[in-house]
Amino acid sequence: MNKLRRSLLLLLLVLAWALAPLLLSRHLIDLFVFAGLFTIGGLGVGLLLGQCGIVNLAQALFYGIGAYSSAYVTVQLGLPSLTGFLAGMLASALIAIAVGWPVLRLTGFFLALATLALSLIGNVLFFEWDWLTGGTLGIGGIPKLSIFGFAFDTPERVYYLVWPIAILVLLLADNLVRGRPGLAMRAMRDAAPAAEVLGVDMHRLKTAMFVICAMLGSLAGSLFAHYVSYISVQSFTVERSIAFLLIPVVAGSASVWGIIAGALFVTFIPELLSGFGDIHQVLFGLALVLVVTLLPDGLIGGADRLAQLLKRRMA
Amino acid sequence: MSGVVELQSLPSRPPHLPATLELSGIAHSFGGFKVLSDVNFAVPQGQIVGLIGPNGSGKSTCFNIVSGFLSPKAGRVLLSGRDMAADSIQARTRQGLMRTFQTPKVFERMSVLENVMVGLHKDGRSGILASMLRTPSARRELDRLRNTAEGACRKFGLGKLLDAQTGRLPAGQRRVVELARAYVGAPRLLLLDEPSSGLNTEEIEQLRGWIAMLNSEGMTILLVSHDMGLMTIADTVHALYFGEIIASGPMTAIQADPRVREAYLGG
Ligand SMILES: Nc1ncnc2c1ncn2[C@@H]1O[C@H](COP(=O)(O)OP(=O)(O)OP(=O)(O)O)[C@@H](O)[C@H]1O
Ligand SMILES: [Mg+2]
């Protein structure tokens, strides 16, 4: 594709994105907001999976930390919402270092299990520490996000906030992946001993990426708390962690921008299938299996191949 | 902006400092199974030293001990007279040690150029934040890494394969990628574990030329190979048999040595 066509396509996409809230129902805008949140949180998991070869099943923990921090800071302490974002990201980063440093010595299957355990423990703590989290009752009355006096109090406004944030973190991640640390990450993913011999400090790099993943999860969680106004433990279970992991898996794990497609998939497909009644979960499982088996490189790899096929047809 | 200065001094043809590797009294066993017992030899600066021995005689184990993947049960490894016992794999790399693997360990899902760029990782400085923000110095550094790596690729005849996915290359070319990746970081001491295995005669001839080139640029080389023809490139060869050096000398003398003949012919 030449440059002009690419810019044109981008322009069209931006236009469609900007105009969408005018045409969409309130429910659909809602879903797009969630897809934006999942893009942010899923990106962290995607960087670990696609670049570092690490399966992280603990993202719901950090999503929860962000959400509870924002809820606690605004509802209990009455502080400005930005404080909640910062507190959540700081807490997530510290916990990610404390847990990641020892746990990231594990590899493969064992590491995946350890992160799964982390998610489970997190959920138990969210339940037990009800002075902080409200337990099963949760925390309600979380104020709408307001930044420098501007309130993001309608779905449209949040839509116009969440997506630019998502694009920003995707841009930063894209830069990172193309940079020197990105090379080192993929090197340790493909052949750890060789990466080590070439001087890559794998343990430090893995921990750093785990911290970034946690902070993205927390950021998404804080946005989520302000958006829905009410949060409880049910939102931060292992299922949520699995859904976050599915985002890069569906997208094609090494793709940064594909995370958007993965997030849209895990948001919209269950919604579309819910019309089928009770079996919608089975159908979602089927849809997943189809994507993973038919498109080994995920949605993005599949789209690439389709584009190449069309090109050849046209030529 | 110290990072920039660092890289500007990144040499395209690096000056190699003197390096001498010395193994003294090295012993190793795997769960009671003795692999090396009292191995002593040195790799003098600027030389090519060969290590031969039948399958399972402990050559790769020696490499793993020198490069820091294993710590020996006894004995010392000295680099330029300094004991490396406490040094991590990366610390050894920083001191100028580099190795290849018996089964090439290339980064399969990365391009050839990217593989070789990772060989320069240790010479770069830009971290996560600078790379995320694409600071001017991070960008310049990456450009420089790319240029240097590209030069190394061309030197090893990989110029047409820069963007090829390394996992799709035939075995011979993967070895070349691994060699270019090891070379580009300008090591003082290079350990090559069976670089000729899986190569055809023509490729081995080419490999021989490259080894000579690396050596002429000042790299000290320790070479393991089953290819006796290739081994004649070594200044000195040590024959390892059941965990001990049983003969040392030029390849021609080693081939004539009765104990070596016996070891190889299973007498
Ligand atoms: N990690 C390990 N655990 C147990 N035994 C091992 C291990 N690594 C090597 N060995 C054993 O140690 C012995 C020496 O192995 P090594 O790989 O050093 O031999 P080598 O001389 O490199 O052989 P080859 O010519 O086949 O490469 C072999 O018997 C091997 O089975
Ligand atoms: Mg071996």
What percent of chain B is modeled with pLDDT above 90? 76
Which residue pairs from A77-80 have beta carbons closer than 8 angstroms and sit at least 24 positions apart in sequence? A80/A146
Q: Are B4 and B140 in contact (CB under 8 A)?
A: yes
| Residue B96 to residue B98: CA distance in whole angstroms | 7
Q: Are A246 and A262 in contact (CB under 8 A)?
A: yes
Residue with the bigger pLDDT between A82 and B8: it is A82
At residue B98, the pLDDT reads: 96
At residue B176, the pLDDT reads: 95
What percent of chain A is modeled with pLDDT above 70? 99
A141 interface with B at CB cutoff 8 Å: no
Which chain B residue shows the shortest CA-CA distance from A185?
B118
Convert the pLDDT of each residue in A88-98 to its tens digit: 999 999 999 99
In a domain, A174, yes or no: yes
CA A163 to chain CA centroid, Å, is 13
> Domain total for chain A?
1
Residue nearest to atom 4 of ligand 1 (CA): B30
The pLDDT-based confidence of B264 (bands split at 50, 70, 90) is confident
Question: From the CA of B250, how many Å to the nearest CA of chain A?
Answer: 30
Question: Which of B23, B39, B55 for a ligand 1 pocket mutation test, highest count of atoms within 8 Å of Cβ?
Answer: B55
In a domain, A305, yes or no: no
Has residue B190 got a pLDDT over 80?
yes
Return the ligand number nearest the Cα of B69: 1
Question: From the CA of B207, how many Å to the nearest CA of chain A?
Answer: 20
At residue A264, the pLDDT reads: 95
pTM of the model: 0.91
At residue B267, the pLDDT reads: 43
What is the ipTM for the molecules in this complex?
Answer: 0.89
B58 interface with A at CB cutoff 8 Å: no
Task: Residue A154: give the domain boundaries.
Answer: 28-236
Both structure tokens of A59: 């993202």
What is the rounded average pLDDT of the residues B245-266? 83
Please list, in sequence order, all residues whose beta carbon lies within 8 angstroms of the beta carbon of residue A173, skipping any fewer than 6 positions away.
Answer: A43, A47, A256, B132
Question: From the CA of A171, how many Å to the nearest CA of chain B?
Answer: 8
Q: Do A176 and B119 touch (CB under 8 A)?
A: no
At residue A37, the pLDDT reads: 98
Both structure tokens of A234: 């049910």
Q: Which among A178, A182, A199 has the least Cβ separation from residue B122?
A: A199
Q: Are B174 and B37 in contact (CB under 8 A)?
A: no
Name the phi and psi angles at B249, rounded to 5: 150, -175
B168 interface with A at CB cutoff 8 Å: no
At residue B6, the pLDDT reads: 39
Distance B243 CA to ligand 2 centre (A): 13
Has residue A310 got a pLDDT over 90?
no
Q: Are A39 and A166 in contact (CB under 8 A)?
A: yes
What is the rounded average pLDDT of the residues A123-136? 90
In a domain, A291, yes or no: no
A264: helix, strand or coil: helix
The pLDDT-based confidence of B17 (bands split at 50, 70, 90) is very low
At residue A275, the pLDDT reads: 78
The pLDDT-based confidence of B265 (bands split at 50, 70, 90) is low
For residue B85, CA distances in Å to A313, B21, B74, B79, B91 come to: 62, 13, 11, 10, 11
At residue B35, the pLDDT reads: 93
Q: Do B132 and A173 touch (CB under 8 A)?
A: yes
Convert the pLDDT of each residue in A223-251 to its tens digit: 999 999 999 999 999 999 999 999 999 98
Q: Are B135 and B126 in contact (CB under 8 A)?
A: yes
Convert the pLDDT of each residue in A136-181 to its tens digit: 889 999 999 988 888 898 999 999 999 999 999 999 999 999 999 9
For residue A39, CA distances in Å to A91, A253, A257, A279, B89 come to: 21, 13, 9, 26, 37
Contacts of A196 in chain B (CB under 8 A): 89-90
What is the rounded average pLDDT of the residues B111-135? 96
Closest CA to B117 of B160, B161, B149: B149
In a domain, A214, yes or no: yes
Per the DSSP assignment, residues forming a β-bridge with B73 are none
| Residue A45 to residue A55: CA distance in whole angstroms | 8
Q: Are B189 and B220 in contact (CB under 8 A)?
A: yes
Which of A52, A105, A172, A183 is the mutation pick for testing B, counting most B CBs within 10 A?
Answer: A183
Both structure tokens of B86: 């406490």
Q: Is B247 left (phi over 0), alpha (psi -120 to 50) or beta?
A: beta
Both structure tokens of B109: 């899902």
In a domain, A247, yes or no: no
At residue B266, the pLDDT reads: 60
At residue B9, the pLDDT reads: 39
Residue with the bigger pLDDT between A38 and B227: it is A38
Cα angle: A111, vertex A299, B142; to 5 degrees: 70
Has residue B199 got a pLDDT over 70?
yes
| Residue B195 to residue B179: CA distance in whole angstroms | 8
The single residue listed with the structure tokens 């969440």 is A162
Contacts of B99 in chain A (CB under 8 A): 197
Question: From the CA of B126, how many Å to the nearest CA of chain A?
Answer: 7
Residue with the bigger pLDDT between A67 and A271: it is A67
Convert the pLDDT of each residue in B130-180 to its tens digit: 999 999 999 999 999 999 999 999 999 999 999 999 999 999 999 999 999
All domains of chain B in start order, with CATH: 2-104+187-265 (3.40.50.300), 107-168 (no CATH)
